Amino acid sequence: MPSVIDNINQRYKKSAVVDVRSGDTVRVHQKIREGNKERVQIFQGLVIRTDQKGSHTSRITVRRISSGVGVEKSFLMHSPLIVKVEVTKRSKVRRNYLSYMRTRTGKSARRAGVDFDSDSVNSVHDAAAEAEEAKLKEEAAKEAAAKAEAKAAEDAANEAKVQAALASHEAAADSDESAK
């Protein structure tokens, strides 16, 4: 009989996540909120650690070199902020925690690649995540349409003001000519 804690954990788990292993090169699509705007940022790098794979707190640590500086980010796989995880390359490694990769650069950081079916690995359909992504695109389209409509209304109002000013100038010029 599942406990209350297990029921709560299951409620917050995604229905399906990509099978990510240490040594994989992944692209993580993460939602970023800046004020009232929301965008998707992509972080691509090497998975140097995977933790608690079967749990709702499963986590991967991804490392990449950015401007000559090593950057590591940890991602909770079941987080609602993670839109998508794509495995771009799979490598042969014998460990779960690749801490030795921190000291390696250049040719010494190479790993032996393994052939894998990227379509079957990356084809995880999470209906809720896809609906959320579609909703974000729809909101962005509505916002763009509203801005375009507001801009058109503003341009029409400005054009009407210009026409009214020209008409008043012409009327003033006609009255000046008739007064002479």
Q: 70: number of CA atoms within 13 Å, CB side?
A: 15
**Predicted TM-score (pTM) of this structure:** 0.61
pLDDT at 136: 84
Per-residue pLDDT at 50 exceeds 80:
yes
Complete edge-to-edge strand list for the sheet that includes strand 113-114: 69-76, 59-66, 37-51, 25-34, 82-91, 113-114
Which DSSP state fits 100?
G
Per-residue pLDDT at 77 exceeds 70:
yes
Please tell me the distance from the alpha carbon of residue 109 to that of residue 20, in angstroms, as a whole number: 20
Strands 69-76 and 37-51: unpaired
Place of tokens 């909770």: 76
**Of 116, 86, 79, residue with least CA distance to 18:** 86
pLDDT digits (tens, 9 = 90+) for 10-36: 777 777 777 788 888 899 999 999 989
pLDDT at 100: 83
Per-residue pLDDT at 129 exceeds 80:
no
Q: Which residue blocks in the chain are alpha helix, DSSP H?
A: 4-12, 118-122, 127-179
Place of tokens 């079957």: 120
Extract the tokens encoding 2: 């599942």
Highest-pLDDT range among 46-55, 110-119, 139-148: 139-148
Residues 71-75, mean pLDDT to the nearest whole number:
89
Please tell me the distance from the alpha carbon of residue 7 to that of residue 12, in angstroms, as a whole number: 9
